[in-house]
Structure 1
Amino acid sequence: MTRNVSTRIAGGLQGILPRLADASPPKGPSHDTIDLSSAENILIRDQLQDMCKAAIQNHLNSDTLSELPSFGGDVGARTALASFLNNYFRPASTVSADHIVLTAGAGLCIEALIHSICDEGDSVIIPGPHWFGFQPYITLRPKVNIITATPPTYARHGDDLVSTLRATYNDAETPERIKAMILCNPHNPFSQCYTEQGLRECMKFCQEFGLHLISDELYALATIKTTENQRSEFISTLSLMSNASDAETLIDPSLVHVVWSASKLLGLSGLRIGCVVSQSNPEIRAAVSLLTYLNVSSLSAITLTAILSSPDLSQLLYVNSQRITASYACFTKLFRGLNVEFLPAQEGLFIFAKLGKSIMSIEEEIAFFENLRQRGVLVSAGRFYSGLSTEFGWARVLIAVPLATAEEAVKRLSLCIS
């Protein structure tokens, strides 16, 4: 039999293709599809489109069309990113442009870091549920294994973080080959933030076993303003690095690396620009630079620089938060009215909800989501996030859509949830 792809890529496709098929639009003329399965934030596209156009018009020159000479990426973009992080992420030590390496999107940040930290056959541990898109960036080119630390329940995943990590580490076949942990904070798909205590314990855990901590902070500042109990505000790992009030060092700072991009908060996925922030590990920065060298477009760099340097940035983030909050309220009103279980969101673009309230099997779940598809609503099935194998009917529902779209989606969902 002829093999169309390599063995290396076949393994990755085996995990990804079913997810792509699940997210494909329904066939037939029954409905215009509302896609709530993606991770696209379109709430401030109107303002951003004008800002992007102005950035190109005002800053494009002949030098922009040349290769970027600087190691680590465009200096202007890195300087703007440093200022942004210092203003909004409250780092314990000031972030400088030299601490930052640009990459063509956050996915390549993850891949370059894993490639730099791990040898082939090593493993990384990721608290579950987690974004299934991690798989190709970790398992294909770096050829590193993913070990999922699955919590006992969804509702207490944050409280059980360190105990789950420790149990998973101890149960691993070769724990000595676990070299890093990836923490998504705010969480995808839960849109919740880890507490300061939880983050501190996580950092101590990584220090104990000499693990690199990769903190994926893409969804930071997409704040959902509610009065629900047990809310935790976003706390960046950068802010806990060297607090003078600590009686002990939480973690060797050379083990900590933060990933951020403009794709989620600002909805600029098409720019393909992300960054690694590693304040105390120049070797990692050099390695990431080599692995991603010249991958970021000059046009993306000058556009992001203009947006992050704009005096209107704080107002833009405020509008973004207001619109996410309005959409969130629309969905949660439906869920409460129909007694649909969901995790209260705090920061991010989604709600994780048990849309199939009485579903007890994978077959019932597949049929339920197919019915949603036929009604013209796409959501991202919870089974694709390496979550609890005993839970069915959960879905990640995108809420970063205009209020009118949210209202129409709610109408369609109400016809399917009983």
Structure 2
Amino acid sequence: MGDQQNDMIVSQRAKLASVTTAQNPMWDIFSNVWCPSTNPGGYVNVGVAENALMHDELLEFLNNKLELPAKYLTYNDGGGGSIRLRRAMCQFLTRHLKPFTPLDPDHLLVTNGVSSAIEHVSWAFADPGEGILLGRPYYGTFIMDISMRFGSEVVPVNFDEVDPVSTQAVAKYEKALLEFQQKTGKRVRGLMLCHPHNPLGRCYSRETMIELMRLCQKYRINLISDEIYALSIWENTVDEKNNPPPVKFESALSIDTRGIIDPQLVHVLWGMSKDFGANGIRVGVIISQTNRDVQQALKGVSLYTYSSGISDHLAALLLEDSQFTESYIKENQLRLADSYAYTVRFLKSHGIEHAPGCNAAFFLWVNLGKTYKRLHPGIPESEEVGDKVMDLLLSHRVFLASGALFGAERDGWFRIVFSQPRGHLEEALGRIVAALND
């Protein structure tokens, strides 16, 4: 009787969301976080992409500056962000993303985080059942952001032995597009990139970006470049020389699209969460420079992703202070490089394989399944152990992002987030090794 009543009360999409949430332990992790003094039995979290390396500096700046005007207790300038914030973003992003076409506040729509921005563009570009291309491996929450509420279909792109960020990968995107359209009779309406790449920690070259633009122009689909890690770029000093050389970051906005793609098809996302280590501020932005239809459509639904007045004010305070932001970004990049190097040395000392060539973002893509099999010689080479390793990690109270939820093409891969204080990172890595030895 209870199940029948729930069938009447809860929609099918709500049921699906419930199942999806139950498969992801992240929310339980948040409520039971390890602290060496107050909660030593909690989870050590190196699975969620948060950067805590510069929290003290950011808090000192914000706490000294914060004085909230009364207008931020009102609806202010509407759901798409205050004029002040959009102007500050234009100035800041012009310095760092170097757009070919100058940014204007009217090109920007502010959201309460980039997850909301992804939902918005999925809603704006694809009707239910229509596809958005997403290369594997991918940021796992892209699936929910793109498809859960609005019914767009994620079209995963397999690369086999091809480098996912190379020009050779473009043909794989085209293959996936044609197969989806032939199989379903529905159109592909967009191509979603995380640039720099999550979870690989690498940048797409300018040449690859141009070839992807050409592909989007050929099929008249939208290129969405999620550049939330754009300024979290650092120098890789530890990977061997014969590995893929790190590629410098260049924004999709910096490319002269003439003769390549209709600029109305190019859209860029950015936010405060990663480059400023401030996931909790909840400020993202959609940049669509020439597509008035998109701008108007998103403005019409901006009420549902209204960033709070306090967040709007804090973000504007920060982005207007070029002296602080320049020094912050420089120091953040140095600390990320140091933390990456420390983690790689640890992994190598324990024979754990990682995907090399990183110079961006907060994470390493590591093959824990391979190490687990080496430590347990009785396991057949063909046997998949990813789920077993995940269970062992959780039993040791350490949380990583599972490759199974990140669209890994091979079993046993996980994402380690290294942008944590050294003591936190040491505890996490120690628990990972202990789990693999079980």
- Name the TM-score, length of structure 1 as normaliser: 0.91
User: Is contact 1:103-1:296 (8 Å) kept?
Assistant: yes
Counterpart check, 1:266 vs 2:276: yes
Counterpart check, 1:374 vs 2:395: yes
Task: Read off the aligned partner of 1:38 and give its amino acid letter.
Answer: V
CA distance in 2, matches of 1:412, 1:326: 21
- 1:159-178 matches, cutoff 5 A: 159=166, 160-172=168-180, 173-174=183-184, 177-178=187-188
CA distance in 2, matches of 1:289, 1:241: 26
Determine helix, strand or coil for the equivalent of 2:138.
Answer: coil
Candidates 6, 12, 28, aligned match of 1:7: 12
Query: How far does the alpha carbon of each residue in 1:211-270 deviate from its partner, in whole angstroms, 9 at most, with x for none?
Result: 01111011111123113441101111001144xxxxx61110001110111011112111
Candidates 221, 224, 234, aligned match of 2:249: 234
CA distance in 2, matches of 1:318, 1:362: 45
**Counterpart for residue 245 of structure 1:** none
**Counterpart for residue 40 of structure 1:** 50
- 1:239-254 matches, cutoff 5 A: 239-242=254-257, 249-254=259-264
CA distance in 1, matches of 2:13, 2:260: 38
TM superposition shift of 1:329: 1.1
User: Is contact 1:169-1:175 (8 Å) kept?
Assistant: no
After the TM superposition, which of the residue ranges 216-225 and 334-343 deviates more from structure 2?
334-343
**Counterpart for residue 160 of structure 2:** 152
Counterpart check, 1:187 vs 2:197: yes
**Counterpart for residue 334 of structure 1:** 346
Candidates 192, 206, 231, aligned match of 1:196: 206
Query: How far does the alpha carbon of each residue in 1:101-140 deviate from its partner, in whole angstroms, 9 at most, with x for none?
Result: 1111111111111211222221111111112212232223
Deviating 4+ runs (over 6 angstroms): 25-30
Candidates 405, 408, 411, aligned match of 1:392: 411
Task: Read off the aligned partner of 1:239 and give its amino acid letter.
Answer: S
Counterpart check, 1:93 vs 2:101: yes
CA distance in 1, matches of 2:155, 2:108: 28
User: Is contact 1:330-1:410 (8 Å) kept?
Assistant: no
Task: Read off the aligned partner of 2:97 and give its amino acid letter.
Answer: F
Determine helix, strand or coil for the equivalent of 2:10.
Answer: coil
User: Is contact 1:381-1:395 (8 Å) kept?
Assistant: yes
Determine helix, strand or coil for the equivalent of 1:296.
Answer: coil
User: Is contact 1:30-1:376 (8 Å) kept?
Assistant: no
Determine helix, strand or coil for the equivalent of 2:431.
Answer: helix
User: Is contact 1:12-1:139 (8 Å) kept?
Assistant: no
**Counterpart for residue 151 of structure 2:** 143
CA distance in 1, matches of 2:125, 2:385: 42
1:365–1:22 CA distance, 2 compared to 1 (3 A): farther
Query: How far does the alpha carbon of each residue in 1:169-227 deviate from its partner, in whole angstroms, 9 at most, with x for none?
Result: 12112465111111110111111111111111100000000001111011111123113
**Counterpart for residue 367 of structure 2:** 354
After the TM superposition, which of the residue ranges 45-54 and 205-214 deviates more from structure 2?
45-54
CA distance in 2, matches of 1:266, 1:71: 22
**Counterpart for residue 319 of structure 1:** 331
1:16–1:250 CA distance, 2 compared to 1 (3 A): farther
CA distance in 1, matches of 2:352, 2:47: 18
User: Is contact 2:79-2:307 (8 Å) kept?
Assistant: no
CA distance in 2, matches of 1:49, 1:103: 22
Determine helix, strand or coil for the equivalent of 1:208.
Answer: helix
Determine helix, strand or coil for the equivalent of 2:25.
Answer: helix
CA distance in 1, matches of 2:64, 2:214: 46
**Counterpart for residue 292 of structure 2:** 282
CA distance in 2, matches of 1:253, 1:396: 34
**Unmatched tracts of structure 1, length 5 or more:** 243-247
- Name the TM-score, length of structure 2 as normaliser: 0.87
Query: How far does the alpha carbon of each residue in 1:308-329 deviate from its partner, in whole angstroms, 9 at most, with x for none?
Result: 1222111111121121112111
Determine helix, strand or coil for the equivalent of 1:19.
Answer: coil
TM superposition shift of 1:69: 2.8
TM superposition shift of 1:44: 0.9
TM superposition shift of 1:23: 6.7
User: Is contact 1:326-1:403 (8 Å) kept?
Assistant: no
User: Is contact 2:384-2:412 (8 Å) kept?
Assistant: no
User: Is contact 1:241-1:253 (8 Å) kept?
Assistant: no
RCO higher in structure (CA 8 A, sep ≥6) = 1
**Counterpart for residue 24 of structure 2:** 19
Task: Read off the aligned partner of 1:156 and give its amino acid letter.
Answer: D
CA distance in 2, matches of 1:224, 1:417: 30
Task: Read off the aligned partner of 2:164 and give its amino acid letter.
Answer: H
Aligned length: 408
CA distance in 1, matches of 2:27, 2:51: 21
Task: Read off the aligned partner of 1:326 and give its amino acid letter.
Answer: D
1:30–1:372 CA distance, 2 compared to 1 (3 A): farther
